[in-house]
Structure 1
């Protein structure tokens, strides 16, 4: 059922909807711009290298990210008329892209941690078990949201909108899924920092820095940048979930600004810094190979 209204009291809702679309456009522009900046590195470090699991994950994260940003921008445009059926499929597609991409990002982080712990089987098993538990729960939440989602179409003063409704238990499960994901990210960071500190102490004790120390520096640097964006996402999410002022008026300028910043931070974390987790390490190894060839050529 489509609800048509020209009630002036609904203009703040229309303005909020228009305002939120700017953040979707900004996120799409940011992802596309980062892709253009790193495309040369991508060709050199990914396209021209031997295919591996990391190559597959890079392409999936990078290009699903571009697709996600483009669809989110299209979905947010107030001049696009989408029926509740189309909104249903759009929302489900975006949700599943997010689930798949974050699962791939965690596979990348598990691989990095496994290498940092020198192939420790205990660490690998622990990370895989926790990874599966969190992602299976995320998948169940998305399936339940898909099954119980309902929508209403609105045409408010010529602006097309669609409101999605979820049962309270599904919203609660979504909050639990977010908490579990946060715990997993914090755990991964702690494991990375712990092994890095341990290795740096050993290198200092034995005065054997050099390549190994530099490699760990690269791993920690890229991981810290990724985690910093996750902290920003978590902070915005906490404010949105716990602030009574925001919850009382989700169409206020403050609420829409936080929602927009949350959207941009999530996109940056997954689809900008995510691919750079792989590019950063590959760029470092490429420089090592180039320096080694230069040194051997000079001799």
Structure 2
């Protein structure tokens, strides 16, 4: 069968049109890919910077655990167990779990499925809630001890603390039950990005919970500073400068630094929720702010929190080993009653 010249030219023209159409399709796909790359690059850059901050904060938590593990064994594991012991161990190892989960969640080179991402979000939210509640109880016990076991201080603070944590827990449980957020994994430019979508209801509850928490923490800081000032005035009247300076050092190391850090991190959280300057989440200023916020929050919850308990235990152990100083120092009533074993080298 032979083709006429007209049929041959027609087939050649159709073949040329198909090649041109294919070229246009390829060109369109290339342009679309470039446009998507340009539009998603700020997102990728933000997630990458945020993941660096998460890794740095998580490494800090692990490093502090290694540094203080010997103290933990001596002052926690080898002593008689008490409620403070349970609180310390819970916060310490919830913090390590939170650090590991955060790296799985936010490091873009770690692949996760949509289901795993959803589970990690729920796990991290509940660890955050429980750890904050436990740290609040530790602060409450410290204030109760500093005020000489006064129920007038204990009951109002306990009611405020329980009410605030119940609100936060109910809000998160409601959000999860109503599926008011979604979590999925995207692969963009070779990186694994976990994306979360929250509606206004969840964001509103989150803002209210920050206000509750910050209010309680400001009150706790005020009470801690107030009782410290009263004790310093009392010690100055009846004691020497040596005990006064020693007492001030103990107080700063064990209490006021932690209480102030809690308030500082809460203020950063309020700024993250309400500041209009942070609306553009891809700007350099917003990235630095949120990166510092997450690192400070890790340090406050999972480094300074456990160190508060260790510092109080260490101070009490030194008092038992130095009976001369103990007479002047015990008036501050910083320590819950615990048993510190004494060992002889003989």
Tell me, yes or no, whether TM beats 0.5. Answer: yes
Residues 94-139 of structure 1 show CA distances to partners (whole Å, capped at 9, x for unaligned) of: 1111111111111111111111111111211111111111110111
1:72 aligns with 2:102: yes
Aligned residues: 292
Contact 1:200 1:213 in 2 (8 A): no
**Which of 138, 153, 165 is the matching residue for 1:135?**
165
User: Which whole-Å CA distance do the structure 1 matches of 2:124 and 2:206 have between them?
Assistant: 15
What are the ranges of 5 or more consecutive residues in structure 2 without an aligned counterpart? 1-32, 327-343
Higher relative contact order (CA 8 A, sep 6+): 1
Contact 2:319 2:325 in 1 (8 A): no
User: Which whole-Å CA distance do the structure 2 matches of 1:22 and 1:158 have between them?
Assistant: 17
Corresponding position of 1:257: 288
Shift of 1:260: 1.4
Matching of residues 237-276 of structure 1 within 5 Å = 237-247=269-279, 249-276=280-307
User: Which whole-Å CA distance do the structure 1 matches of 2:275 and 2:217 have between them?
Assistant: 24
Corresponding position of 1:277: 308
Corresponding position of 1:182: 214
Corresponding position of 1:49: 79
What are the ranges of 5 or more consecutive residues in structure 1 without an aligned counterpart? none
55 and 136 in structure 1: CA distance in 2 versus 1, 3 angstrom threshold: same
User: Which whole-Å CA distance do the structure 1 matches of 2:42 and 2:204 have between them?
Assistant: 28
Q: Which TM-score applies when normalising by structure 2?
A: 0.77
Contact 1:192 1:220 in 2 (8 A): no
48 and 211 in structure 1: CA distance in 2 versus 1, 3 angstrom threshold: farther
Q: Over alpha carbons, which structure has the higher Rg? A: 2
Shift of 1:216: 7.0
Corresponding position of 2:37: 8
- Mean CA deviation greater in 40-49 or 238-247: 238-247
Shift of 1:158: 2.0
1:286 aligns with 2:305: no
Contact 2:118 2:184 in 1 (8 A): no
